[in-house]
């Protein structure tokens, strides 16, 4: 059975642009939506810059980059997704926003067998599925940043996701995109973030307490534990707003202190110090 060929991506930020790029590079017809024309242009530039970096690093040839660009379309109108086989939601990590998008997609996407997927890193898939009339066709397909480089995808079925939806989502991730897929239970944080977020929060608390500075914490984990990147630089890469949102979602579900965002993280997010994407977080970029 052929996997989805017409892909919709809702959101053209860091994750949405990455998902759109890998789908286009895989030969799929990709339509990307963002809230306004400025968001679309920023997303288009993100993808162009990423493809250029791949060509410069000899990970992609120029002809393939041109073909991928030609497969990408952009819109500010979700109703353009009516003909999509698979739509991946990749907007900011806010439950109300995501729920509203799923309710709208349910009314827009016309194909009776279309998959509706979320790239959420922490919000339970069941909550989003119940905003639709077809919860059996809703699944989490959680990519990792940067999407064109990192091979892992978490597949997160809810209790209502059908076996056919699971199988089609796995074929899409593995056969179409060449990713390595793991299956996670539908609980906040899934596999990776349930382990990663407490680690990042612990590093932030260590810095906040004055026990060690950011550079020493990161160097300690890189050289002492052979991590490719220290936790505070990784938090900057992920985005401190995303780290906070994931922590809050897990704390809401489990009520365990290890998931509670520390005050330093909250103040930085309030001040717009979000990491690499704003040029300032625990480090200056």
On whether 18 is known to bind a ligand per the annotation, the reply is no
Q: Which two tokens stand for residue 48?
A: 């162009």
The interaxial angle of helices 214-225 and 192-208, nearest 10 deg, is 130
β partners of residue 141: 155
- Whose tokens are 């202190």? That residue is 257
Element (H, E) at 72: strand 72-75
On whether 119 is known to bind a ligand per the annotation, the reply is no
User: Within 10 A of 198 (CB to CB), how many other CB atoms are there?
Assistant: 18
On whether 185 is known to bind a ligand per the annotation, the reply is no
On whether 121 is known to bind a ligand per the annotation, the reply is yes
On whether 98 is known to bind a ligand per the annotation, the reply is yes
Q: Cα–Cα distance between 278 and 182 in angstroms, integer?
A: 31
On whether 164 is known to bind a ligand per the annotation, the reply is no
On whether 16 is known to bind a ligand per the annotation, the reply is yes
Residue in 121, 122, 158, 176 annotated catalytic: 121
Q: Is 121 a catalytic residue?
A: yes
Q: What are phi and psi of 111, to 5 degrees?
A: -65, 130
Q: Is 119 a catalytic residue?
A: no
On whether 136 is known to bind a ligand per the annotation, the reply is no
SS3 content of the chain, % helix, strand, coil (to 5): 50, 15, 35
Residue in 122, 158, 176, 193 annotated catalytic: 193
On whether 15 is known to bind a ligand per the annotation, the reply is yes
Q: Cα–Cα distance between 133 and 117 in angstroms, integer?
A: 14
On whether 13 is known to bind a ligand per the annotation, the reply is yes
Q: Is 193 a catalytic residue?
A: yes
On whether 34 is known to bind a ligand per the annotation, the reply is yes
Q: How far is CA 243 from CA 51, 68, 70, 75, in A?
A: 26, 31, 34, 28
Residue in 154, 158, 170, 176 annotated catalytic: 154
Q: Cα–Cα distance between 29 and 193 in angstroms, integer?
A: 30
Residue in 21, 119, 142, 176 annotated catalytic: 142
Q: Which two tokens stand for residue 25?
A: 């590079």
- Whose tokens are 């909250």? That residue is 266
Active site residues: 121, 142, 154, 193
Q: Which residues are documented as binding site?
A: 11-16, 34, 93, 98, 121, 145, 277
Q: Which residues are documented as binding site for NAD(+)?
A: 11-16, 34, 93, 98, 121, 145, 277
């Amino acid at each position: 059975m052929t996997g989805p060929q017409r892909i919709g991506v809702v959101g053209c930020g860091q994750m949405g642009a990455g998902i759109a790029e890998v789908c286009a590079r895989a030969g799929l017809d990709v339509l990307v939506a963002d809230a306004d024309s400025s968001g679309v242009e920023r997303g288009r530039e993100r993808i162009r810059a990423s493809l250029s970096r791949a060509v410069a690093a000899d990970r992609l040839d120029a002809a393939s980059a041109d073909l991928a660009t030609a497969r990408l379309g952009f819109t500010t109108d979700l109703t353009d997704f009516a003909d999509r086989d698979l739509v991946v939601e990749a907007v900011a990590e806010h439950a109300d926003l995501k729920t509203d998008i799923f309710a709208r997609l349910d009314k827009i996407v016309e194909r009776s067998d279309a998959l509706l997927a979320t790239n959420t890193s922490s919000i339970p898939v069941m909550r989003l599925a119940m905003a639709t009339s077809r919860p059996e066709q809703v699944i989490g397909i959680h990519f990792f940043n940067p999407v064109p480089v990192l091979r892992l995808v978490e597949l997160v079925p809810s209790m209502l996701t059908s076996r056919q939806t699971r199988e089609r989502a796995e074929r899409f991730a593995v056969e179409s995109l060449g990713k390595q897929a793991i299956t996670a239970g539908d609980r906040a944080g899934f596999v990776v973030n349930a382990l990663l977020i407490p680690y990042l929060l612990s590093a932030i608390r260590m810095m906040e307490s004055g026990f060690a500075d950011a550079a020493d914490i990161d160097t300690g984990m890189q050289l002492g534990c052979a991590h490719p990147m220290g936790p505070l630089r990784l938090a900057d890469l992920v985005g401190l707003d995303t780290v906070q949102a994931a922590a809050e979602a897990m704390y809401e579900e489990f009520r365990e202190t290890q998931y509670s965002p520390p005050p330093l993280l909250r103040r930085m997010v309030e001040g717009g110090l979000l990491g690499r994407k704003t040029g300032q977080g625990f480090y200056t970029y």
